[in-house]
Amino acid sequence: MSAMLEAGTSNFAAIDAAVARSYGAQVDYAAAPHAVRSTLLRGLADALGRDAASLVALANEETSLGAGRLNGELARTAFQLRGFADRVDAGIAARTVDDAAVAGAPPAGRPHLTRVFAPLGPVAMFAASNFPFAFSVLGGDTASALAAGCAVIVKPHSGHPELSRRVHALAAGVLREQGLPEGVIGFVEASREAAVHLVSHPDVGAVAFTGSYQGGVALWKAVNARARPIPFYGELGSINPLVVTPQALTQDVETPAATLAASIALGCGQLCTSPGVIVVRADGTGTRFVEALARSLAAQKTHAMLTLAMHRGFERATEHIAAQPGVVTRLAAQAGSDDADHAPTPRLFEIDAQSFVTNAALHEEMFGPAALVVRARHDADVLDVLTVVEGTLTVTLWGAEADTPANRALAAAAQRIAGRVLFRGVPTGVAVCDAQQHGGPWPASTQPQTTSVGYAAIERFLRPVALQDAPAWAIDANRGGATV
């Protein structure tokens, strides 16, 4: 750890103080008209936009992700904040379900019941390393929690500390301008031990986390060890199988190979939706596709990884995969690429489906620009491969558009393990919209019924409450001034 980081690391007392500020802010923020939320969200988006050039420059210094990508990410983050604002204005947090009283004895007779949705905050929000804007201080978790009426306590990622401080300072300025307490968006730099203290704090109401399996599981365990466990929304990793059926290769192998190679290397492979397992038929066309993929991947330009620890982790993960019985290395590290100051070169490995199915070590994520090709003899092999993956953010099915029994079985197997199933394109790139689902069975998400991208993400931070025979003011108090 650098001296800078040590100096910035909050001790337990600082965390307690931050939680107290956010807990104090929670009641008034939740009770305020919902227009306060949407005005705040738009103010944050505007502030990001105003300082875009300097923020992107700082982000690039700290992450090496490149100005092009970072400009796009900042735009997406502002778009997302405004999108939540629009939905708040449309009443997303003011929904009610009303059942009028019915005279008579149960089961048909009943009192008047109104289902409303109450915020769960304050929310402890753990920023990710790989999206310094979109999954960081003012990213999707913060935006959805604020939209739900929750104060947020941001734990920034140590991979971009100065950027995090700058963005939080911007946010604090917006809160001041709008007359809102600073606790609405708290900020605590925290060691691992301090992070456990944060999620164990009795006044924290929910936790959102995007990051490594190891880090996420440690926090999840701490939450479960509380006297009263709270909701923990963690996105912990994913291998994102992509199935290349023979139908996908009838025209050409080069174009799909180039598309896939670009997706594997995008952001130096540091994306939660990076395609890590490529299922290809064990036939001649499949072999030509794998050769084209290796060539195209070798030509991809990568950049330095986010942190030294991640680079080391990537090298360890690829060595571990390469050492498994039956694994053939199709694209090895180039000389010097394991030097932490340099960009790692892409890697490609290959294994037969039966070996993949029976060796759990092959189901682990390589976080970085690498993929494992799995050669399937027939449809049953493909289904077996998907079944053993068990939990993933995405499955992509190329060439499965025709309505055939085989494709129906493939789609069903994909849906069973994934939060998102694609029939075209690549899984990297996650649109922010109402229909999006970014989650999936463990370890893709610790709460597979929820999403961390898209507007349904707000549901994580709202808890239904049934009001029975309530006076109108008690119902309206949950509706933030909504008149519809």
Q: Which residues are catalytic?
A: 235, 272
Q: Segment contacting its own copies (CB under 8 A): 69-77, 284-292, 296-304, 342-350?
A: 69-77
CB atoms within 10 A of CB 106: 7
Q: Which is nearer to its own copies, 137 or 462 (CB)?
A: 462
Cα dihedral 258/349/214/340 (nearest 10): -80
Give how many residues touch its own copies by CB under 8 A. Answer: 81
Q: Which residues from 280-339 bind its own copies, rule CB under 8 A?
A: none
Query: Applying CB under 8 A, does 242 fall inside the site for its own copies?
Result: no
Residue 375: both structure tokens together: 């050669």
**Whole-angstrom distance, CA of residue 439 vs CA of residue 434:** 14
**Residue type at 30 in one-letter notation:** A
**Residue type at 283 in one-letter notation:** D
Query: CB of 414: closest distance to its own copies in angstroms?
Result: 9
Q: Which is nearer to its own copies, 61 or 469 (CB)?
A: 469
Query: CB of 484: closest distance to its own copies in angstroms?
Result: 18
Q: Segment contacting its own copies (CB under 8 A): 95-103, 164-172, 307-315, 347-355?
A: 95-103
Q: Which is nearer to its own copies, 12 or 79 (CB)?
A: 79
**Residue type at 63 in one-letter notation:** T
Q: Which residues from 101-130 bind its own copies, rule CB under 8 A?
A: 105-108, 110-111, 113-116, 118, 120
**Whole-angstrom distance, CA of residue 105 vs CA of residue 103:** 7
Q: Which residues from 407-446 bind its own copies, rule CB under 8 A?
A: 408, 411-412, 415-416, 418-425, 429, 431-439, 441-443, 446
Q: Which residues from 346-405 bind its own copies, rule CB under 8 A?
A: 390-391, 401-403
Query: Applying CB under 8 A, does 201 fall inside the site for its own copies?
Result: no
Query: CB of 45: closest distance to its own copies in angstroms?
Result: 11
- Whether 438 and 67 have beta carbons less than 8 Å apart is answered as no
What's the Cα-to-Cα distance from 95 to each of 204, 442, 464, 478, rounded to whole Å? Answer: 24, 30, 10, 9
**Whole-angstrom distance, CA of residue 84 vs CA of residue 62:** 28
Query: Applying CB under 8 A, does 470 fall inside the site for its own copies?
Result: yes
Query: CB of 431: closest distance to its own copies in angstroms?
Result: 4
Query: CB of 201: closest distance to its own copies in angstroms?
Result: 13
Indicate which single residue of 191, 200, 259, 447 sits in contact with its own copies (rule: CB under 8 A): 447
**Whole-angstrom distance, CA of residue 387 vs CA of residue 368:** 24
Give the Cα-Cα-Cα angle 215, 19, 31 (nearest 5 degrees): 115
**Whole-angstrom distance, CA of residue 37 vs CA of residue 449:** 25
DSSP reduced 3-state for 25: helix
CA 334 and chain centroid, separation: 31
Query: Applying CB under 8 A, does 231 fall inside the site for its own copies?
Result: yes
| Pairing label, strands 392-398, 328-331 | unpaired
Sequence-ordered alpha helix ranges (H) in 90-183: 140-147, 161-177
Query: CB of 248: closest distance to its own copies in angstroms?
Result: 13
Query: Applying CB under 8 A, does 90 fall inside the site for its own copies?
Result: no
Query: CB of 340: closest distance to its own copies in angstroms?
Result: 31
Q: Which is nearer to its own copies, 190 or 393 (CB)?
A: 393
**Whole-angstrom distance, CA of residue 15 vs CA of residue 8:** 12
**Whole-angstrom distance, CA of residue 329 vs CA of residue 350:** 6
Indicate which single residue of 179, 301, 405, 473 sits in contact with its own copies (rule: CB under 8 A): 473
Query: Applying CB under 8 A, does 69 fall inside the site for its own copies?
Result: no
Q: Which is nearer to its own copies, 111 or 246 (CB)?
A: 111
Indicate which single residue of 4, 5, 12, 27 sits in contact with its own copies (rule: CB under 8 A): 27
| Pairing label, strands 113-119, 462-468 | antiparallel
Q: Which is nearer to its own copies, 177 or 469 (CB)?
A: 469
Query: Applying CB under 8 A, does 98 fall inside the site for its own copies?
Result: yes
Query: Applying CB under 8 A, does 406 fall inside the site for its own copies?
Result: no
Query: CB of 341: closest distance to its own copies in angstroms?
Result: 31
- Whether 318 and 338 have beta carbons less than 8 Å apart is answered as no
Query: Applying CB under 8 A, does 451 fall inside the site for its own copies?
Result: yes
Residue 203: both structure tokens together: 């006044």
